Amino acid sequence: MWKSKSVSGAPVEWDGRDIDGNELPCGIYISRAVAHNREFTGKIIILR
């Protein structure tokens, strides 16, 4: 489980699964979140 805080301090979590619930392989992923008319992007690296 990946956990972080957004710029606003709100918690952000991701379990490393795709939209269908499949566990994603190791790699570098680009994250994007939109909230309150703002867009946030970042990189997530999965190592198992």
Q: What tens digit of pLDDT does each residue of 15-43 get? A: 889 999 999 999 999 988 887 888 888 89
| Distance, CA of 25 to chain centre | 14
Asked if pLDDT for residue 12 goes beyond 80, the answer is no
8 A C-beta contact, residue 24 and residue 30: no
8 A C-beta contact, residue 33 and residue 40: yes
Q: What is the pLDDT of residue 22?
A: 96
Task: Report the length, in residues, of the chain.
Answer: 48
Q: What is the pLDDT of residue 7?
A: 62
8 A C-beta contact, residue 4 and residue 12: yes
Q: What is the pLDDT of residue 25?
A: 96
Q: What is the pLDDT of residue 33?
A: 82
